[in-house]
């Protein structure tokens, strides 16, 4: 098939301000493109992920799907990913997409059907897919911890998480430990390949762990200073403002164009389900991610009365136009 102009958007997902989240390329009409063509374009964009929108299959439409998305990194196709889910939904709506249900959008992807809801034109949340998880082998945890430069006593808990992509999660003793990480990239890539997971994420609470009491959260200015070696100045007992994060997150991906992901929706989704189920995390909290790579991502976690975890954040448009494919 000869190339033609197709509508295109680049959006910034989980962005607290312009150009501060995780960029996503969205080809709004992927019809007629082969998997190889999609993968080739995703490789060319050099973004963490590139999406292609298609009509849902007949069976998926009957089950409520509004559109279908295929998600590619620079190296492979993903069954599900968080920031592509929010970003592609935003682009679909901005192009004039009308969901079957006014307050609910349903995305078809290789992992299945994913529901989304919107509180405004730029604020979306997706329902975290069902999670499979297990305790990893001690040797695997030690291998990854060494590659990340962590001492054994810094790791409070670990879990292997699977919600489409497979992730490895480490809960650390402090946000300082998260922000201070300087991984050995070659050793980490080898460890992730050996484990067969797509990445490893680390997280820690600001202040004491949930349910333990103690002082309030540190300020965002301290957080940014610590990420770049600025020390520990500031009043740690001051009450947090609404944008102050409860949890600091970093995620390191295998075989990606960039070693550290600015903001990772799928990991935050599975992490939240694990932390709420087993570690006393509150039903609603704000996670921050990306300051170590110059981003300023915010991820809102909320568990509803039915136990469904929703993962949301703002989406900002960056580029609108056409692409020749």
Give the CATH H-level superfamily of domain 5-128+314-324: Diaminopimelate Epimerase; Chain A, domain 1 (3.10.310.10)
Domain ranges of the chain: 5-128+314-324, 132-307
Does the active-site annotation cover 153? no
Position 162 pLDDT exceeds 60: yes
Q: Catalytic pick from 49, 189, 248, 260?
A: 49
Tell me the pLDDT tens digit for each residue of 28-50.
999 999 999 999 999 999 998 99
Average pLDDT over residues 183-188: 94
Lookup: tokens for 59: 């069976």
Cα–Cα distance, 208 to 103 (Å, whole number): 37
Cα–Cα distance, 297 to 280 (Å, whole number): 24
According to CATH, the topology of domain 132-307 is Diaminopimelate Epimerase; Chain A, domain 1 (3.10.310)
Whole-number pLDDT of residue 227: 63
Closest CA to 84 of 319, 309, 264: 264
Tell me the pLDDT tens digit for each residue of 187-219.
999 999 888 888 999 999 998 878 665 444 444
| 5-128+314-324 against 132-307: fold identical | yes
Tell me the pLDDT tens digit for each residue of 240-257.
344 689 999 999 988 766
Closest CA to 82 of 58, 53, 116, 55: 116
Position 304 pLDDT exceeds 60: yes
């Amino acid at each position: 098939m000869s190339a033609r102009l197709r509508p295109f958007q680049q959006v910034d997902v989980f962005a607290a301000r312009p150009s501060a989240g995780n960029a996503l390329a969205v080809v709004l009409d992927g019809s007629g493109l082969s998997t190889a063509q999609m993968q080739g374009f995703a490789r060319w964009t050099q973004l963490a992920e590139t999406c292609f929108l298609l009509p849902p299959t007949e069976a998926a439409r009957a089950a409520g799907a509004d559109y279908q998305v295929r998600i590619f990194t620079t190296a492979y196709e993903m069954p599900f990913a968080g920031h592509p889910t929010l970003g592609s939904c935003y682009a679909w709506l901005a192009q004039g997409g009308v969901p079957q249900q006014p307050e609910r959008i349903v995305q078809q992807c290789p992992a299945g059907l994913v529901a989304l809801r919107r509180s405004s034109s730029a604020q979306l949340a997706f329902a975290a897919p069902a999670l499979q998880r297990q305790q990893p082998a001690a040797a695997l945890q030690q291998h990854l911890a060494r590659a990340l430069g962590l001492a054994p006593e810094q790791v409070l808990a670990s879990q292997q998480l699977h919600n489409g992509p497979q992730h490895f999660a480490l809960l650390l003793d402090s946000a300082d430990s998260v922000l201070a990480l300087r991984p050995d990239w070659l050793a980490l890539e080898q460890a992730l390949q050996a484990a067969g997971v797509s990445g490893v994420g680390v997280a820690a609470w600001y202040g004491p762990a949930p349910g333990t009491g103690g002082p309030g959260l540190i300020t965002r200015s301290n957080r940014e200073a610590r990420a770049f070696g600025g020390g520990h100045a500031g009043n740690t007992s001051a009450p947090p403002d609404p944008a102050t994060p409860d949890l600091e997150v970093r995620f390191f991906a295998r075989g990606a164009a960039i070693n550290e992901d600015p903001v990772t929706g799928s990991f935050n989704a599975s992490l939240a389900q694990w932390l709420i189920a087993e570690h006393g995390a509150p039903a609603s909290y704000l996670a921050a991610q990306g300051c170590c790579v110059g981003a300023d991502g915010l991820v809102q976690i909320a568990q509803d009365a039915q136990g469904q975890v929703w993962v949301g954040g703002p989406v900002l448009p960056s580029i609108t136009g056409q692409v020749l494919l």
